[in-house]
Structure 1
């Protein structure tokens, strides 16, 4: 929803609307910037953002690898990726498969590849608990392929357990999709605290890249109030691009394609393309 403040167009964040240019094509690819898509609260649009942001960046010629790091396997399902009788991220984590490339599958979207996950990943925390340097196993897995991609997204499960710590230890940056709802906002402080601990003890290079407001409904005062609070708390870390609510997201997931392909002219598809352009403009992605 666009409104005016002092004669200037402003978006839902209350900031002036910006026009992010279409990025120039890349002349070479890699090494990848690894980004952990994290929020310990479920149902905030984390996997939806992982899928559609990855697809939008792929449209702009970026080579993208999406790592499904959630035992529910929603990212894999949302891109129609096979998850059984194939190597998965769990096999790579426990070392039964050594070659990371052997677990990579091509999605229907050009330039977008996936390492799948299934329910077996739920056993990883128990399996890894006695491993040496257990927090750094995922970093070793991704090191093999990081030169082949421009960006690697890790779609984390909604928890702050050992898998999420692995993702944060492997990452250069963190993106937090944040539903514009009060209870979603409450949990972010705990996630920020975890990121700070990982930065202090395991990965000094990690930084908070962006907070993406999702599931925004301009018709409700609640959404507007939470948005104001988010911008007040996190300032410029909050993206100008806001993702609204729509029934098109589950429809696209059932079809096994991102919304940018399922409904390319829909407002949400345009929003994810704008988000991709914004993150490139911010330097979060090459």
Structure 2
């Protein structure tokens, strides 16, 4: 197998993280949303791009459905709109209804709107001989200069051409796993897919691999250890990661199991605004620290 070298992102562009998993329920979207909020609160200009047809990230960040005639990531994919036209301010619910006054904007955080139409992305990209390059072309040609410091991509639960097109732009891939062994299999499948992409597209600059592993929804003891009484399967899954010499260095701080994560979807409020004293926010902060998302010395204007 050819040796791969991970190249850091260019200094004049945003740092990009792509969160991916093949099996649902791994906390991928919660990881994206909460890390994005954490980064924004640390003073960074942040964007979340919602590639998942379930569009849960868009929902939590204030948009159950795209407003009428509002461009989305799918219309950008189709070439009907530019990237900047699909960007809206991220927000959280403070009242009833869908009017603007029912929401409050989250400082320094923006959203590239998702849509259920992304379920058709695989077909659309598959019909285009250069489909795997669509996102790279969009970012090269349409990325607003200095608009964002960090971008988080919420990928759909597929391992097809859409994922490879996202991987083509060279993000730091965060593989998400949860409290079942099926996610370990999913991690293996994700690595295999990216490896195939490297072999097939390396002449086009494809060099992406899994660089981080985020374990969420894990029962922890008070001192942060996996609580085996919460499920031997959970313990076995984490042990499988820690016993793998390739995976163990990539494992980020574990995010503990909390019921309130589910409430964020119903309430359309990220955890920071729903339950600001929740212990899991400390876990998210540790993840951000390990990813090198600094706390900026001077807070940017809101």
How does the TM-score come out when normalised to structure 1?
Answer: 0.83
Instruction: Find 2:72's aligned residue among 88, 102, 118.
Output: 88
Q: 1:110 is paired with a residue of what secondary structure?
A: strand
Whether 1:220 aligns to 2:203 is no
Q: 2:291 is paired with a residue of what secondary structure?
A: helix
- Equivalent residue for 1:74? 56
**Structure 1 residues 117-173: Cα deviation after superposition (integer angstroms, max 9, x where no partner):** 111121222222221310011222233226421121111111112221221112322
**Structure 1 residues 55-94: Cα deviation after superposition (integer angstroms, max 9, x where no partner):** 1111111111111001111110011125242100000000
CA distance in 2, matches of 1:266, 1:235: 27
- What is the Cα deviation at residue 221 of structure 1? 2.6
CA distance in 2, matches of 1:128, 1:279: 31
- Equivalent residue for 2:119? 122
Contact conserved, 1:35 with 1:171, CA < 8 A, in 2?
A: no
Structure 1 residues 102 and 183: alpha-carbon distance in aligned structure 2, compared to 1, 3 A threshold: same
CA distance in 2, matches of 1:222, 1:122: 32
Instruction: Find 1:208's aligned residue among 207, 210, 219.
Output: 210
Contact conserved, 2:39 with 2:293, CA < 8 A, in 1?
A: no
- Equivalent residue for 1:106? 89
Gaps of 5+ in 1: 1-28
CA distance in 2, matches of 1:251, 1:51: 14
- Equivalent residue for 1:165? 164
- Equivalent residue for 2:270? 258
Range that drifts further, 193-202 or 69-78: 193-202
- What is the Cα deviation at residue 228 of structure 1? 1.2
Q: 2:197 is paired with a residue of what secondary structure?
A: helix
Whether 1:145 aligns to 2:143 is yes
Range that drifts further, 259-268 or 81-90: 81-90
CA distance in 2, matches of 1:56, 1:211: 18
Contact conserved, 1:33 with 1:152, CA < 8 A, in 2?
A: yes
Range that drifts further, 122-131 or 87-96: 122-131
**Structure 1 residues 157-216: Cα deviation after superposition (integer angstroms, max 9, x where no partner):** 111122212211123220011113111112211110111122333343323221011111
CA distance in 2, matches of 1:183, 1:125: 24
Contact conserved, 2:20 with 2:157, CA < 8 A, in 1?
A: yes
How large is the Cα RMSD of the aligned pairs?
A: 1.9
Contact conserved, 2:20 with 2:156, CA < 8 A, in 1?
A: yes
**Structure 1 residues 227-247: Cα deviation after superposition (integer angstroms, max 9, x where no partner):** 1111112121111x1111111
Q: Runs of 4+ in structure 1 displaced over 3 angstroms?
A: none
- What is the Cα deviation at residue 30 of structure 1? 5.2
Gaps of 5+ in 2: 1-10, 92-105, 220-226, 295-302
CA distance in 1, matches of 2:208, 2:271: 30
